[in-house]
Amino acid sequence: MKQDKTLYRNPVRGKVAGVCAGLAEFFNMETWLVRIIVISVFLFNFPLAALAYGAACLLLDKKPPSQASEYAQAKGDIHLKSKVWQSGETPKQALTDLDRQFSRLEDSVKQMEKTVTSEAFQVNREINRL
């Protein structure tokens, strides 16, 4: 399922105005890498970089609050990165997160089994059948 991407500023994750964070999300890159590229452009051509960054601050809309939360957006979807510069989780982090989720689920299932197999549950079920 392909998402329709729009370029926004993301002041929640940004340092100055959220331009680098917005570019990183749009191009699926790590934010630190975009910041290094922008700083490099500032060092080599300050007037052009300052003009471009200022224009981006003024022209780009802020990311809507409903989309600002990465956790609300993810909702269990794991986005693995295949290259170092891409954003997302490394496979090791993803496996650790999955292991943690499965452990919580296993604890919940154990608690349900304990409740359902208890004598009090069976007695209550028999009383309710009457």
Confidence of residue 4 (pLDDT cuts 50, 70, 90): low
Confidence of residue 83 (pLDDT cuts 50, 70, 90): low
- The tens digit of pLDDT for each residue in 7-31 reads 888 888 888 888 888 888 888 888 8
Of residues 38 and 85, which shows the higher confidence score?
38
Residue 89: what are its φ and ψ, rounded to 5°?
-95, 150
- Residue in 98, 96, 80 with CA at minimum distance from that of residue 28: 80
Kindly provide the residue ranges of all beta strands, DSSP E only, lying in 12-83, ordered along the sequence.
none
Q: How far apart are CA 12 and CA 67, in angstroms?
A: 11
Q: Distance from CA of residue 128 to its chain's centroid? A: 46
In 28-118, alpha helices (H):
31-44, 46-59, 65-68, 70-74, 91-116
Structure tokens at 41: 């452009």
Q: How far apart are CA 61 and CA 68, in angstroms?
A: 12
pTM: 0.52
Percent of the chain with pLDDT over 70: 79
Do 73 and 53 touch, CB atoms closer than 8 A? no
